[in-house]
Structure 1
Amino acid sequence: MKPQIRKIVTYDDEILIEGFRAAKRPWRMFAVAAIIQNPWAGRFVEDLKPEIQAFGPILGKMMTERMLALAGSGEAIEAYGKAAVVGLDGEIEHASGLIHTLRFGNHYRQAVDAKSYLAFTNTRGGANAPIMVPLMDTNDVGRRSHYLTIQFAIPDAPRDDEVVIVLGAATSGRPHHRIGDRYQDLKDLGHDVDNPAAV
């Protein structure tokens, strides 16, 4: 059992000037999207596991390889995330199922040697629906400079019976980051940085 892939779309954004000031180095965000046939479209299916387990490794490996080719190496990726948009004949559960499996995400996580979880969105929409891929630092969940969002759309996807599966990345944080990190807020509020719930 293999995913039926209609096409693959690459998004690549290189920002040289941000906020009226040149970046010290180009700020690059990019994504790979696979548009696949939704195997459950138009009907209720109780057990999604067979397709999830079959599709996850294939999509995870192929899309990770394409992300690394865009980046040049896993080390070049400082922030990462994933997203899925299911077409109108599908459930949000279908979008969730295809990206929320270690069989999919672990390919990417291991390739960039990440310690943080993959930020995500799972939504439903028609062709040209906005695709939002939230990113976070691959190793530091409190590093706000790397709280980013890639936004793009594909004019002919998803069709009603399709799912758009996306991996996203950035090679740096925002060029002129100056809002501080989560850790300073915790200190200012009197919280233990190592145990934020403690007061």
Structure 2
Amino acid sequence: MDIQIRKIVSFEEETLIEGNKVADKPLRMFAVAAIVKNPWVGEFVENLRPVVRDYGPQLGALLTEKICALAGGADKIEAFGKAAVVGLSGEVEHASALIHTLHFGNHYREAVQAKSFLSFTNTRGTANAPIVIPMMDKNDGGRRSHYLTLQFNINDAPCDDEIVVVLGGASGGRPHHRIGDRYEELKELGHDIDNPAAV
């Protein structure tokens, strides 16, 4: 099945001052979104996997190439995440299907040489709906400095029969981060750092 991409949108912001203090290093956050025709719209499809296996690699490769270029190279990306917003005629499952697959996410993970999983949101909305991308350190899920959220919107997407598929990235952590990492609190609570669920 041919994927129908209506357009691709890039978004970038750069934080220079936070909390009335100049950042030692400006924080760049960026995203690339593909607005695609929902292949399942208008009917209940029991097995989504054939389309997922077809669309996932195409979208993963395309968006990974574009976000790495926007970042100035894959090595410039320290935090990452993903998101999808399905239009009102679709199911949240349709948004989930296109981003919760290794056929999609592994393109990005491998390009930036990441160990962490891609944090995510999958929602339903109208055109101009908020697109929210939670991010974390690509190699260290407990590094709270890199718990970031990028939000933007596209004025004409998603249409009711579309899905917006997004990759997000950041060049570093929050300016002036000072809440510590998870590991300190795990030690304080007497938890095993390698097995946080254990008492």
Shift of 1:193: 1.3
Shift of 1:54: 0.6
C-alpha separation between the residues in 1 aligned to 2:76 and 2:127?
32
Question: Partner of 2:27 in structure 1?
Answer: 27
Unaligned segments of structure 1, at least 5 residues: none
Shift of 1:197: 2.0
Question: Partner of 1:129 in structure 2?
Answer: 129
Question: Partner of 2:103 in structure 1?
Answer: 103
Unaligned segments of structure 2, at least 5 residues: none
Secondary structure of the corresponding residue to residue 69 of structure 2:
helix
| 1:135-194 superposed Cα distances (whole Å, 9 cap, x missing partner) | 010000000000011101111100000000000000000010000000001011111212
Question: Partner of 1:9 in structure 2?
Answer: 9
Q: Which moved more, 1:107-116 or 1:189-198?
A: 189-198
Q: Does the Cα contact within 8 Å between 1:32 and 1:168 map onto a contact in 2?
A: yes
Correspondences of 1:23-172 after superposition (within 5 Å)? 23-172=23-172
> 1:177 corresponds to which letter in structure 2?
H
Runs ≥4 residues deviating over 3 A:
none
> 1:93 corresponds to which letter in structure 2?
E
C-alpha separation between the residues in 2 aligned to 1:195 and 1:166?
32
C-alpha separation between the residues in 2 aligned to 1:75 and 1:5?
28
> 1:165 corresponds to which letter in structure 2?
V
Question: Partner of 2:188 in structure 1?
Answer: 188
Secondary structure of the corresponding residue to residue 106 of structure 1:
helix
C-alpha separation between the residues in 2 aligned to 1:194 and 1:125?
39
C-alpha separation between the residues in 2 aligned to 1:75 and 1:30?
14
Q: Does the Cα contact within 8 Å between 1:2 and 1:58 map onto a contact in 2?
A: no
Q: Which moved more, 1:177-186 or 1:187-196?
A: 187-196
C-alpha separation between the residues in 2 aligned to 1:85 and 1:157?
9
TM-score relative to the length of structure 2 = 0.98
